Structure 1
Amino acid sequence: MGSDTATRGNDMPYVLVLYYSRHGATRTLADEIAKGVDSVAGIEARLRTVPAVSPVSEATAPEIPDEGAIYVEEEDLRQCAGLALGSPTRFGNMAAPLKYFLDTTSGLWMNGVLVDRPATAFTSTASLHGGQESTLLTMLIPLLHHGMVYAGVPYSETRLIHTRSGGTPYGTSHVAGADGSREVDDDERHLARAQGRRIAELSLGLARMREARG
């Protein structure tokens, strides 16, 4: 997979799969979305995460995570052809570490860097009614302010109708359980990969549109 090994000198366009994960469920969804992206010819996934934020963690967090994706830099966002944004829910909203990073991107907003690039979102919750859809909707707000084009999961993906855990047309989701032990199931994996393919195809299409427009 090109996601963890993508180099800055590579001319291949990429979808930035940017997530924060506390217990691993959101990271699993990110991996599945990246697989969907990588299944589309001519584009690749770039997996990145964000560090935890608190007075303690900011002082002691390593510069490189012990496992998983490396930390995102603004340049990763600046150069992406598309964005998939993932977070567990925190009281019906995205987790603070992800919002903290997005709050630092006003320079990109002022220059319209992300205008007309596609974006999508995904989430996980501890309980079935734990705020999945509200979290996805709040994640969409800063993306719209950046002028991005939001794409969810259409009902042509019939597993949206049959899933008994996560899903939603706003983006793939997962119910991890109170102790975080419930694994991402086949329906959720399928939807995440479909979401990855869709954002990859839209990224290529909108990139061609921007090039043609000059």
Structure 2
Amino acid sequence: MTHLLLPLPADPPAPEQACLVMVDLVGSTRIAHGLSLGAYATLMAEFVQVLMLSFEVHGGQVLQHQGDAVLALWPAERAEQALRAAVEAHDRAAHLGLAGSLGLTLQVRSGVASGEVVTGVVGGQPSAYGLPVNYARRLCDAAEPGETLICEAAARAVGSAAALRPRPLPPLRGFGPDCRAHRVLPGAVPTTPMKTG
């Protein structure tokens, strides 16, 4: 039996050029094993909330979070802000107050990809569809702890605003062998100073 909840639209949504950032917490399963469920849930809630607020401050729209990962979207012309948010996520995680009180230092990895997407609301949540969504996720998965990887298109968009170094990639599921990425060098992107206290 075939189910069709919605008919195909007569006027499908228009594609837009966007920059996607995916940030994922490193070692979340190991952390979960070392904490009570209540402490782990509270830590994850604070981690996700801090990233969401940071992305929004930089003009991003948070699309979804899945426990220990957050995905956000910027218009393509704001790729530099997206990259700044991706890089800043490392410091945000490392200085999370609750993690420090639990004796933990958190690390993240992040991926940045640009291209054509279609956006809309699904189940009451903002969503985006298109290859850059998957590409940002694959780059995030390929990044080392503490590393931000940015695709070739996004690297062109930020131009000289960041110091980048070409980075060989392992095969990325769903993408061909010609994918090119750059590693964002530490201190290469000006970030918003962390507030303490």
TM-score in terms of structure 2 length? 0.29
Larger Rg: 2
Query: Which gives a bigger RCO, structure 1 or 2 (Cα 8 Å, sep 6+)?
Result: 1
By percentage of residues, which structure has more strand? 2
TM-score in terms of structure 1 length? 0.28
